[in-house]
Structure 1
Amino acid sequence: MSGVDDVLDPRPRRVLVAGTSGVGKTTTAARIGAVLGIPHTEIDALYHGPDWQPRESFVADVDAFTSEPAWVTEWQYTSVRPLLAERADTLVWIDLRNTVALWRLVRRTVRRRLRRIEMWNGNVEPSLWTFFTDPEHIVRWGISTRNSTRRRMPALVREAPHLRIVRLRSQREIDRFVQHLARAHG
């Protein structure tokens, strides 16, 4: 695994951003795309159709954009994780403390709900009350899957030895890494 200030040579061209719900994967992926000048595809937007239903074309859409020479996206969804790992050259693992990730997830969810922010294909966060009634509520999901990325990493290291993995453990490290990419490859 690489550190924050390690030189990533050759230049990252196909980048995954991994981590538990709420750590800032999408924001970081967009920042990486901007400094490297490569397109960011928000994978949630490909997965979620109207009324939160999975889109039938999801796997085909992921196959299509990952066939391109350069891209950045989040490492999510069991059905495409192997394909993403196979085609990526770099994985940025945001490994924040569970308390930080949970706080960010709750804050984001409440903000989106209160402001009725439309996310993908007309979807908005459901009523906050659904935290108590829906076992799939994003905050409950974040709690139940909070260590899943840590459990996946040893297998990923074995199964994708070509993949450079950069582990970032704080917002400061995330910011330093993005700045480093901008200086080295911008």
Structure 2
Amino acid sequence: MLGVTRPIGARQLPINQRRILIVGISGAGKTTLGLRLAAILRIPFFEVDSLFYGPNWTRREDFPAKVAEIAGQERWIVDSFGYCEVQSVLAPKADLILWLDYSRALVMRRVLSRSLRRALRGEVRRDGNVERFRDWLRADFPVRWAWQHHHDRRRFFLNFLRDYASQGKVIRLRTPSQAECWVIGR
């Protein structure tokens, strides 16, 4: 079973660990953690959904090229893992993979709250799209996706990350307080 493989905190990361991939189900807090780490570590942050989605939720044709461009950089923090380009190109280049493996109940509270807020306020996402209530009917809408795929994604992460964990590259964070302790180095 993958555990917290190293107790080291974000501020004490060795200089050679400057390619960080943050993974977890929709609503776990990947973007929030990524932005926070980017500010602390002064490393460029990339939100994969912003690279993937074009206008009206269409896939951007330049997505694979953007991922390859990021992979070639010496320093990056990337939030997401749901795209094969990220799995096959960025994961092998990552020095550290943070897995936000939170309970379904917590994830659902977060993703539901975020999606309701965005829909009610008409907030524009970082990718330029707006979540509307009619979008909730889509199978890939974050609330539906998180509910339907929480257990499947956990199993996927356990299997996919096993080799990276054996190399000491994975930190599995099971609660927000555990993530907070890791960030501040306790």
Q: Distance in 2 between the 1:75 and 1:135 partners?
A: 18
Q: Distance in 1 between the 2:175 and 2:50 partners?
A: 26
Paired letter, 1:2 = V
1:144 equivalenced with 2:148 (yes/no): yes
Structure 2 equivalent of residue 108 of structure 1: 114
With over 3 angstroms needed to count, the CA separation of the structure-2 counterparts of 1:150 and 1:3, relative to structure 1, is same
The Cα offsets for residues 68-98 of structure 1, whole Å up to 9 and x where unpaired, read as: 0000011321233121111101000111111
Q: 1:149 deviation in Å?
A: 3.5
Paired letter, 1:99 = A
User: How does 1:10-159 map onto structure 2 within 5 Å?
Assistant: 10-11=14-15, 12-76=17-81, 77-127=83-133, 129-131=134-136, 133-152=137-156, 153-158=158-163
The Cα offsets for residues 1-25 of structure 1, whole Å up to 9 and x where unpaired, read as: 5357336653420001111111100
Whether the 8 Å CA contact 2:19–2:74 is kept in 1: the answer is yes
Q: Percent identity?
A: 32
With over 3 angstroms needed to count, the CA separation of the structure-2 counterparts of 1:130 and 1:59, relative to structure 1, is closer
Q: Distance in 2 between the 1:134 and 1:164 partners?
A: 35
Q: State the SS of the aligned residue for 2:14.
A: coil
Q: How many residues align?
A: 179
TM-score, with length taken from structure 2:
0.86
**Of 118-127 and 28-37, the range deviating more from structure 2:** 118-127
Whether the 8 Å CA contact 2:4–2:173 is kept in 1: the answer is no
List gaps (5 residues or longer) in structure 2.
none
Q: 1:163 deviation in Å?
A: 5.7
Paired letter, 2:75 = A
Q: Distance in 1 between the 2:90 and 2:120 partners?
A: 34
Paired letter, 1:119 = R
Q: 1:117 deviation in Å?
A: 0.6
Paired letter, 2:27 = G
With over 3 angstroms needed to count, the CA separation of the structure-2 counterparts of 1:61 and 1:160, relative to structure 1, is farther
What RMSD, in angstroms, separates the aligned Cα atoms of the two structures? 2.1
